[in-house]
Amino acid sequence: MLLSRTPVLAAAALCASLVAAPCFAADGVPDPDFGVGGAAFITPDDVEARELQPSAAIVLPDGKLLFGGQRSKYNPAVPFEPEFRAMLAQMNPDGSVDTDFGNTSIPGVVVLPALVPGARMEGIESMQRLDDGSIIAVGVSQVNTPLRGFVVKLDATGAMAAAASY
């Protein structure tokens, strides 16, 4: 299930679900066949992620939902300065977690490596799927470094094909 300590991920999943899958509920009412009662969640494990914070969502041709944003990770050495890295999360059309997607201990979640050396906060702000199935994602890197934008090209599994910062 998709769960975050902030309600943003649940709201994004709900919004995407209303667009992504055929709805048999009345307008404005969550589809009871999506997730549990119309809402779906991915649960952070508090090891790889304390929070999952999506800010972009796209529906893939197979009906799967792909979310981009950032994940926060607790660092006991500096407990008041969590590390934020760009992340992707993927769900099946019915709201279940896509367990075939991911590179972390959290099923359905891919965390990208640091894109700008020294940056403590990085996150995806927008995504677009290309005709070849790859994903272009853009975002920002900040904190402990000057604010920099980045563009990454990811394959369908979330693996980086190329990255550039500006």
| 101, 120 Cβ separation under 8 angstroms | no
Confidence of residue 94 (pLDDT cuts 50, 70, 90): very high
Residue 153 exposed, middle or buried by CB count within 10 Å (0-12, 13-18, 19+)? middle
For residue 151, being part of any structural domain is answered with: yes
**Residue 7: what pLDDT?**
47
For residue 110, being part of any structural domain is answered with: yes
For residue 128, being part of any structural domain is answered with: yes
For residue 2, being part of any structural domain is answered with: no
Domain, as residue range, for 113: 8-165
Unique residue bearing structure tokens 């920002």: 140
Position 5 pLDDT exceeds 50 = no
Q: What's the whole-model pTM score? A: 0.79
**Residue 91: what pLDDT?**
97
Quick check: helix, strand or coil at residue 87? strand
Unique residue bearing structure tokens 């981009």: 68
For residue 3, being part of any structural domain is answered with: no
**Residue 25: what pLDDT?**
61
**Residue 22: what pLDDT?**
52
Domain count, the chain: 1
Q: Which residues of 86-111 are buried (b: 16+ CB within 10 A; e: fewer)?
A: bbbbbbbbebbbbeebbbbebbbbbb
**Residue 108: what pLDDT?**
96
